[in-house]
Amino acid sequence: MSRPPSTRVRVLLDPGDDVAVTAGLLARHDPAAGVVVVHPTPAARGVVSLAHDLLAALGLSARAAAAIGGTRSAWLAAAAWVSGERVEHLVVLRADRLEATCWVHLVGLVHSARIRLLLVCHVRVIPAHLGAALRDVEHEVLTEPPALATARPTRSTPAAGRYPPLPARLPTGQVLHYRADVYRQHHWNTFTRVDDLYSRGLDAACTWLRHRAGPQPGRTADERVQAFLTALVHDSPTRQHTLALLRGVQAGFLLHGQWLAVPAPGRLSGPGLTSTPMTADVVERIRAGVAHPLLAAGVALALFTGINLRSLRPLRADALPQPAHLVRIPFRYDDALAESRSTFGSGMPRHATAVVSVPHAARPLLRAARAYLLSRSADPRQRVFEGISPMIPRIEEAAAGCGIPLPEAAELIGAWQLRTRWARLDEPVHTDRHDTTGPPPADGRFCLAARPVTPDPSTAPPYRHPDDELRKRWSPLNAPAFLPGLVRAYLDGTEPTMRGYYDHDDQPPYADELRRADMVAHHLAVRVQPEHGGPDRITVHPDIAFALRLTDQPAPPAQ
């Protein structure tokens, strides 16, 4: 037997069975802080019973623990959950009443899970048959309860009430007009609720972009962006809340001279659209109903990824890397069903990786699953659910046993984060608006544009882009002078192949000409009649400045 590190195994002798000692140790039980105290079932001395007691101390129900199986399965599960919960101290009361094989399994847990073990014995000396289990193990005998210091605080839980109620139907347009559409179409109270989420997304984008390199040319569905976006929306309760956050993120990217394409929700799936927020209550219900680490992880993955179980079937152990903050799900176009390819396949790559940020509350479940897998085989390419057969019915049955409905979600080909695109448009215009030098503001947001601002009329001269095929002068009017260039860069980035877009192109067909005129004259800009006569000028559509929180009002409703 390999020797655990020094002093990781300690035996506390309490021959008087002092009530204060037992009560004091039981009071230290706090799995979230890394301290687990096991009180073995009276009159039960066997290894299977002890494994079930350990699982119960970790918060799993006795019914779920009993369903795991025999000795090996029970201890593999117990070791996995101890690793998943990052237990630092394991205290076993009345350890002198256990069988020697129980001590052997506990010592093995010290080695596999890197914990500190305290065996409490209510005798004057360690019984010989139990001492034999420690013969080759360096250990320490104590007569006073030791300190059980841990290096981490109690696990935090998501704040309640972060999301205000929103109507079931809200505008779904793109970022340039989304905020203005909400302003024009809904009551002020609804707009302020949506705008709070919008500004939260804008602030998150500015914070995230501040110290990040720009997009890589030709890269689609950038994994960094996927991780950031899914972390932002994983606890969003509805599609409306998610879209408000994502449109705010897009505004933040624009302020940094970058374009982030995010699709309209439609029938798509994924975090924030078809997922279930992983609150502490949901996780506790999973742990109380499912003791098998792989089944528990399967339920959790189906909930927070928002994709169907069929798409999770090929998941491998190396898709759950430590420290379990991200899950990477390989996507192959040919693996999708024909019906899914017909519905969602337009514009999708042949191969990609869907990245999902793991909610904090769900991370112990995935760590436990990874530990369970690697305890059976060291192969990182093994399928996560290979030993669960039939996979889909068993995970659905496990979720039903927890009283948790699984989302109605599409295959991975319908995941929205695979459709995100990140591109550079122009020079950043927001570098001096993010202030982190002083104390945090009262609303927790550093980005100045994430809070209401005073309109900033510009006196800059009219702007003309050298390639402006309209032969008209851009006039900033009441918009900052950088906006025309940003809008033109947006056109360059989103419509690079439009015929007749550049001066040197041949005369465009009538349909293309109308399309270009509609995009510029209605979507991006408006024509303005100068006060003192002369030719019309075009200026940035008021909705765009409103989207970037640079003005107080958008364009008026269309007549």
Residue 186 has pLDDT above 80, yes or no: yes
Please state the pTM of the whole predicted model. 0.82
Q: What's residue 312's pLDDT?
A: 94
Across 19-28, 175-184, 550-559, least confident range:
550-559
Residue 260 has pLDDT above 80, yes or no: yes
Q: What's residue 53's pLDDT?
A: 93
CB-based contacts of 187, cutoff 8 Å, min separation 6:
none
Q: Taking residues 278-299, report their average pLDDT.
A: 93
Q: Taking residues 44-53, report their average pLDDT.
A: 88
Q: What's residue 46's pLDDT?
A: 86
pLDDT > 90: what percent of the chain? 50
Instruction: Quick: pLDDT tens for 299-308.
Output: 999 999 999 9
Higher pLDDT, 421 or 249: 249
Q: What's residue 320's pLDDT?
A: 84
Instruction: Quick: pLDDT tens for 223-235.
Output: 999 999 999 999 9
Instruction: Quick: pLDDT tens for 365-408.
Output: 999 999 999 998 889 899 999 889 899 999 999 999 999 999 99
Across 199-208, 435-444, 501-510, least confident range:
501-510
Higher pLDDT, 151 or 342: 342
pLDDT band for 5, please (50, 70, 90 cuts): very low
Q: What's residue 154's pLDDT?
A: 52
Q: What's residue 443's pLDDT?
A: 54
Q: Taking residues 283-303, report their average pLDDT.
A: 94
The alpha carbon torsion through 188, 194, 196, 201 (nearest 10 deg) reads -150
Q: What's residue 363's pLDDT?
A: 93
Structure tokens at 39: 């009180």
Instruction: Quick: pLDDT tens for 201-220.
Output: 999 998 899 878 888 776 66
* Residues 502/469, Cβ–Cβ less than 8 Å: yes
The DSSP element (H or E) to which 424 belongs, if any, is: strand 421-424
Q: What's residue 484's pLDDT?
A: 59
Which 3 state secondary structure label does DSSP give 526? strand
Cα(533)–Cα(537) distance, integer angstroms: 11
pLDDT band for 544, please (50, 70, 90 cuts): confident
Residue 510 has pLDDT above 50, yes or no: no
Please spell the DSSP secondary structure of 473-490, one letter per residue. Answer: -B--TTS-THHHHHHHHH
Instruction: Quick: pLDDT tens for 52-101.
Output: 999 999 988 878 887 887 888 899 999 999 999 999 999 999 999 999 99
Which 3 state secondary structure label does DSSP give 354? strand
Q: What is the mean pLDDT of the chain?
A: 81
Half-sphere exposure at residue 89, Cβ-oriented, CA atoms within 13 angstroms: 26
Structure tokens at 356: 């999902």
CB-based contacts of 547, cutoff 8 Å, min separation 6:
175, 176, 177, 178, 179, 180, 251, 254
Q: Taking residues 343-356, report their average pLDDT.
A: 89
Q: Taking residues 493-498, report their average pLDDT.
A: 50
Cα(508)–Cα(523) distance, integer angstroms: 20
Across 142-156, 208-222, 337-351, 481-495, least confident range:
481-495
Cα(421)–Cα(329) distance, integer angstroms: 18
Q: What's residue 425's pLDDT?
A: 76
Q: Taking residues 273-295, report their average pLDDT.
A: 93
Nearest to 434 by CA among 410, 420, 418, 451: 451
Across 111-115, 382-386, 421-425, 553-557, least confident range:
553-557
